[in-house]
Chain A
């Protein structure tokens, strides 16, 4: 590894602009003639729209126009879609209800957009939005996941009778039932995975610009995948054909999944820009973010885990109901199915698994992928269950996991996934050593003398990243391929630009992708620019989510680098009259191996562009592109250990240590990887301890501000101990697995296992607020 190559702990190139206030986020964009939009949103969770009267709003100061859903429909703008087809077990397709970008007949959750006001200033637009008179006839409401399926509940979409979207299964029910009937022990649990709000600190924003001269649209937007946004807005929403639509996702202030999806606002602002003839910018306030950003999780499950007399797991049977909210968001259907049930084998050799998943509509915000997406739900279910089983069986939690670990690879699970590599014992051992597991008893006794209840809990997670082999996901219902593309452009002076379809919104691609190039050609990372986030600059791409940028995005760069390297070597061999096979690249020069003959990298680059002396028949230039379609998912895995002290008087939980031992395969930049783990842990701990979205019976969102939704703050969290044990991934050229979601996936069960250990009561739901913990302490026997 060079000082700036693969594995180097280099500080980020992009930091300077963020640290000096020079970042460029969507809301920072100002273009001539730009006006501001505010959306009129439904205050009711379920209602029919009788009429919309914008007469007085339109005459208010500064107002350009007020547009509604009927006009949008008349202009042919299409419905929002869910891009992953799931079939129920009876073979019928999922029942997708219509989602209009602006509702004109029925509103289905508080925050549903019904009109857009465009005005000279945000304040004027807001004043006018309040003056738009919408006559609603309210309808009965259902928000609760379980209740949505009950007899007599309100019907949310005519397409989905009984609010059931699909009833899907994976695995072999008969085999699981048989094993459960024959088991020496069966552990049964009810598991609730609480609903979360993603809360990227930058609220969503979009700026739609219509150019009448060219009949062309430009969309600045807070997106994790601008190319996908362009594709979907063109192919499905009829906003504009792809060649007439440029989508730019500039600096984006965090995503965590919530900025994957195409929302009504970007469609409506583009359309409104054409209707009004002015550029239209909309920026969500935090209340709107809480109301309308796709939420995460919200599963209710029951689980049975069967053991033989040697404490080996013989079967797992899971029944899950997942709440998808009022409309099916872009990837909502794949989260509780192929990103969830396929991971239910965890790190364990389980011969029979069956999962049944029903998804339901409710009068709540749409639910879709949020950091981990399906995998945290699987991990929480599995790791709470095995921990409970260990307590019931009287076996140590580490031992029970060890007995059941998968130890040979590749390993085919009964739920589709084929694990390519891993060493679960290594991360378990690493975590237990780092946490001084053996010293826990003494620490517990000491805490007891202070009147504190100390507990320790672990979680051994696995996830599937590197989404995903296109043909495989296509056969499972995905509407898109999940490859990635890259283009490496060597300039005549030897500096390098890399165009990537991956998008960086905090992950540090401008540094790590440059490190991959630096490793290859021995050039400084400062001479490498990573270009992303603009459909006019970058060829097609699939964007950043599911920890895929390293495994898929960088692999595409790697492939393009192969081609550049091959051509550069040909040129160098020609210049030095040597054999192409003898050329090696070292320290920024191309050398004839075993001699002192060499040409600097910059000279080869220049030669490719002057084209005065190239090998016969060679095209000028040094620029190559590649598409990379992964051959398999990658399987990051690890062991997390959490130690807590609970104050029985107050129910307050204090995390006294948190250890993460991860196997991410090869690591490009440890500084950045650790940062990703820290951030994921904070979100997972937030889920377990603090966060929860709550609607009341009438569908009003009770947690719509930072006064009500408990975000993790600095003093809620400890410093973390992060270690890695690296089994290279055999499925991609860099041997990387992905690290973006692990922290959020592995941490919630470790924390709840620790608290339930401390208080001696296994009945505890997330978030484990002091009130709940106090009640659990005092009802423990």
Chain B
């Protein structure tokens, strides 16, 4: 058994779990944060993406113990003060989700993608960057639209601030 402490969505949490427990199961079962999903068993689908120390990771591909001491953000920690994050808002406006199962992973991936590329994203880059996230509902069309719109908005905001 491993005893661990980490920061999740800004709050310090600790818990005990099997050495073999994956981060995604620790998040879902020990912490009750069920927004992070499990869609596969081969680290292919991306439904489980969270941010670890500011970078997107597939939480099914690391052990909870490896995340000890780190700072994790899950989909539940993205909106602030009841306001949707711009990426969440763009997904809503552009109908970038249907059943919602892939959505938390898509949004977390998109936030990281925009952080890395800023306003310089184009469609081909977005599609290539989404290689690790599978959606069966949307055909990706509106997800791509949503990410491009959010990137343009965020990039625009940045420029205005400069």
Contacts and interface: CB of A to CB of B under 8 A. Distances in A.
Contacts of B128: 714-715
Q: Which of A27, A123, A202, A683 has the most CB of B within 10 A?
A: A202
A711 B137 CA distance: 12
A543 B141 CA distance: 27
Interface string A119-133: 001010000000000
B125 to A, nearest CB: 10
Interface of A is mostly: loop
Interface in A700-723: 705-707, 711-715, 717, 719-720
Given A20-B35, A506-B137, A201 B91 contact: no
A293 to B, nearest CB: 12
Interface in A8-25: 11-12, 14-25
Contacts of A107: none
Contact of A19 (B36, B92, B126): B92
A494 to B, nearest CB: 26
Nearest to A669: B95
Interface stretch (A252-260, A482-490, A594-602, A773-781): A252-260
Q: Kindly state the interface size class of chain A when it binds its partner.
A: 35 or more
Interface of B is mostly: loop
Contact of A254 (B21, B33, B136, B143): B136
A23 B88 contact: no
A318 B38 CA distance: 43
B84 A201 contact: no
A18 B101 CA distance: 8
Contact of A285 (B41, B92, B136, B141): B41
Given A15-B97, A202-B99, A20 B39 contact: no
Nearest to A713: B131
Contact of A287 (B41, B45, B88): B41
B92 A12 contact: yes
B88 A254 contact: no
B33 A21 contact: yes
A254 B98 contact: yes
Interface string B98-118: 111111100100000000000
Given A16-B84, A705-B44, A254 B139 contact: no
A706 B92 contact: no
A35 to B, nearest CB: 13
Given A21-B34, A713-B130, A675 B138 contact: yes
A505 interface: yes
A707 B44 contact: yes
Contacts of B137: 201, 254, 506, 675, 679
B42 A705 contact: yes
A678 B97 CA distance: 12
A671 B92 CA distance: 11
Interface stretch (B51-59, B62-70, B75-83, B152-160): B75-83
Given A11-B93, A201-B39, A505-B99, A675 B142 contact: yes
Contact of A123 (B20, B35, B103, B138): B20
A714 B138 CA distance: 10
Contact of B18 (A14, A123, A679, A682): A123
B11 interface: no
Contacts of A116: none
Interface in B1-60: 18, 20-21, 28, 32-42, 44-45, 47
Contact of A16 (B92, B136, B139): B92
Q: Which of A14, A21, A713 has the most CB of B within 10 A?
A: A21
A28 B32 CA distance: 8
Nearest to A722: B141
A682 B134 CA distance: 12
Nearest to A743: B139
Given A28-B34, A30-B32, A706-B45, A682 B100 contact: no
A757 to B, nearest CB: 23
Contacts of A20: 35, 75-76, 78-79, 84, 88
Contacts of B139: 678-683, 712, 717, 720, 743
A234 interface: no
Given A22-B35, A200-B136, A203-B39, A254 B142 contact: no
Interface in A562-611: none
Interface in A212-268: 251-254, 256
Given A15-B91, A681-B139, A707-B42, A201 B134 contact: yes
B101 A201 contact: yes
B74 A715 contact: no
A199 interface: yes
Nearest to A252: B99
A507 interface: yes
B136 A683 contact: yes
Contacts of A681: 139
Given A11-B92, A22-B76, A25-B34, 20 more contacts: A15-B100, A20-B76, A201-B102, A253-B100, A253-B102, A254-B98, A254-B101, A285-B41, A286-B39, A286-B41, A286-B42, A506-B99, A674-B95, A678-B139, A678-B141, A683-B136, A712-B139, A713-B140, A715-B128, A715-B130
Interface of A: 11-12, 14-25, 27-28, 30, 121, 123, 199-203, 251-254, 256, 283, 285-287, 505-508, 671-672, 674-675, 678-683, 705-707, 711-715, 717, 719-720, 743
Interface of B: 18, 20-21, 28, 32-42, 44-45, 47, 74-76, 78-79, 84, 88, 91-93, 95, 97-104, 107, 123-124, 126-128, 130-131, 133-144
16 contacts: A19-B107, A20-B88, A22-B35, A202-B99, A253-B99, A254-B137, A505-B99, A508-B98, A674-B142, A679-B138, A705-B41, A713-B140, A714-B131, A715-B124, A717-B139, A719-B144
